[in-house]
Amino acid sequence: MPASTYSVESSSTVEVAPPHRAEFWREHIASYQSLMDYRYARPGDFSGETVRQRTAAYQLVRFRSDEIEYTRSLNQVRQDPDEDYRLLVPLRGQIVLRQDGEEARLTAGTGALVTFGAPFTCLQDAGTQAFILTIPAREVDGPLNLKAPLAAGLDLTRGLGRIVGSMLNDLHEERERLTDPQFNAVSDRIVELLCMLAAGDDRPPSGPGQLAEVEAMVRRYVRERAADPELTGAVVAEALGWSLRQVQLALQRAGTTPRELIREERLRMVRDRLRDAAFARMSITDLAYASGFSSASALSTAFRQRFGVSPREMRYGGG
């Protein structure tokens, strides 16, 4: 089993003497963000603090700092390539972003998706507090089907935007109680909702490319929750913020239905557990209930139809 990479780290300029705080901050930010330049309004007594959560896939930082300007030049982009995106969400103060000839003024209740793969300038007011979530480029470029340097003015006060903001805050508040897969799973969900929000619609369009994305997200949701006996197509649709018809259309393209997909994921779960020594002492009946089936007989019937052997036969080497 891969070792957990999830970690939580806090840092503050109060750890060093005032004359050295600006340099401390530069080195601290440079340790986990790409190459940038820093310009301080008060370099002699700069104040800032961060709380950083990260895994191998995602990084969430909540920070507070005095007035500062960050600049990433074209030369720095070439010298230190970084195609990943940052979701920037102010909680207090104002942040001015300039990239690709556009300017965005962000305050609490708004957000921006910015790439480090292009030059930018970011100016923060004194006392600014914000979240910055680092997102792998592949998680954005595919769903949005574009390479937008700046998606600004995201409304985080209602609808999907409010949910995204709430989930970021919850991810931070629960930081000491999360595991590696839990942090990644919540981050995945935030990014999925963010892509829908950045696309300008609470629900994705029904074209072939968009339906493929819906299908992928439905499959992921079902796979993670297949053991829930209450899981249905309607439950999936409501949880993802789409209509049941959209979910049905997306799965229809793949030759399946919500009910068939849920059953298939449950059967795969049972099969994997039958082969796993960690579940060797679990009875077939208990395994059925733990995998979302209503009874052992319902499991056995469906399992034999799918794999050609009974659960018991597979456990003892029959399949």
Is pLDDT larger for residue 40 or for residue 244?
A: 40
Give the chain's mean pLDDT: 87
pLDDT of 148 over the 80 cut: no
Q: Structure pTM?
A: 0.63
Tens digit of each residue's pLDDT (9 = 90 or more) over 161-172: 888 899 999 999
pLDDT at residue number 62:
98
Judged against a pLDDT cut of 50, whether residue 298 lies above it is answered with yes
Q: What superfamily does domain 208-315 belong to in CATH?
A: Homeodomain-like (1.10.10.60)
Average pLDDT over residues 8-12: 96
The ranges assigned to domains in the chain are 7-198, 208-315
Q: What count of residues does the chain have?
A: 319
Tell me the per-residue pLDDT of 39-58, one tens digit each, with 9 for 90 and over. Answer: 999 998 899 999 999 999 99
CATH code 2.60.120.10 for 7-198:
yes
**Which is nearest to 175 in space by CA: 265, 58, 290, 72?**
58
Mean pLDDT: which of 124-133, 148-157, 198-207, 267-276 is highest?
124-133
Residue that wins the pLDDT comparison between 52 and 104: 52
Would you state the structure tokens that stand for residue 319, as one six-digit string? 């399949």
Q: What pairing do the DSSP bridges indicate for beta strands 95-99 and 120-124? A: antiparallel
What is the pLDDT, as a whole number, of residue 205? 41
From CA 237, how far away is CA 218, in angstroms rounded?
A: 8
Q: Which of 124-138, 139-153, 162-176, 237-251 is the least confident region?
A: 139-153
Amino acid identity of 169?
N
